[in-house]
Structure 1
Amino acid sequence: MFDYPVELTPDGGTVLVTFPDVPEAITFGADADEALLQAVDALETALSFYIEKRLPLPVPSAAGGRPTVRPSGLESAKLGLYRAMTEQGIRKADLARRLGWHVPQVDRLFDLTHASRFDQIEAAARALDLSVDVRVSPRDAA
């Protein structure tokens, strides 16, 4: 759902990582493996800017043989909720009312640096008439 393709470019002894679909996300590493590890943080940071500015999240393009990077599981769940909320035209205040929460609680739910509890994510999903599915799969599986 949030598998974003990356471009890896040698850059003077390091490897530069850029995201064609998320131009704000740029990082590097000593080699390709380290660069891809750093890319997760760069992606999450860049996507948090979209949430802060209440912008739609960029849609990942086809990988086309390029490596992909995805946010961690918790952040992916938060991003899925944010995308659903914006697609349904629901504001944070509306979601807070549906949940019986204060708006700062909803703000924390969409803060990608905040370690939200999973039961809160599930409650927000139910308030949006959605469910959360979790699966564990081999690393190379889609």
Structure 2
Amino acid sequence: MFDYAINVNEEAGSFWSSCDDIPEAHSAGDTLEELLRHAAEGLEVALSIYVDQLRPIPLASPAKEGQRVIRLSALVNAKIALWNAMREKGMRKADLCRTLGAAQTRVDRLLDFEHSSKIEQVEIALAALGKRLVVSVEST
């Protein structure tokens, strides 16, 4: 759903990436392994731009040949789903605050991809929007 494929480029002995689905996402590293470790963080920062600009976050496209897939955490996936559910309903953060009876800081944290919210809190917010979080386990 939100496992984004990145393009890996090597230049002058270092690596950098771009993402077709999230063009704002870029990462770099001195090695390919370092780049891949940083890629999830780069995606999370880029996703914050979508929230700031009140834009829905696009689903991930299937990976093309040569691309690497970055798997975001279950928590980040749930937060993206929450944000997109809000956008579907035309809601802003203040609307979610009212719906949940929650303080602005709590809602800000629920929509901060770098904040380690409790998954239960995201579930509660999704339920308030008529959504249910489903988790599955797949073989790698």
TM-score > 0.5 by shorter chain:
yes
Structure 2: where are the runs of 5+ without partners? none
Residue of structure 2 in register with 1:11 after alignment: 11
The equivalent residue for 1:62 is 62
Secondary structure of the residue aligned to 1:112 is coil
Shift of 1:25: 1.3
- Aligned residue for 2:10, secondary structure, equals strand
2:84 equivalent to 1:83? yes
RMSD value over aligned CA atoms? 1.6
Q: What is the count of residue pairs matched by the alignment?
A: 139
Q: How far, CA to CA, are the matches of 1:59 and 1:126 in structure 2? A: 21
Q: Work out whether 1:28 is the aligned partner of 2:28.
A: yes
User: Structure 1 unaligned runs (5+)?
Assistant: none
Indicate the SS of the match to 1:122: helix
Aligned to 1:124: 125
Matched to 2:93, the amino acid is K
Runs of 4+ in 1 over 6 A off after TM superposition: none
Identity %: 40
CA–CA distance in 2 between the matches of 1:138 and 1:36? 20
Offset of 1:30 from its aligned partner?
A: 2.7
Structure 1 match to 2:41 = 41
TM-score, L = length of structure 1 = 0.88
1:43 Cα offset (Å) = 0.5
Q: Structure 2: how far apart are the matches of 1:29 and 1:131? A: 37
User: Aligned letter for 2:28?
Assistant: F
Deviations 1:28-48 (A, max 9, x none): 223323211111111111111
The AA in structure 2 aligned to 1:43 is L
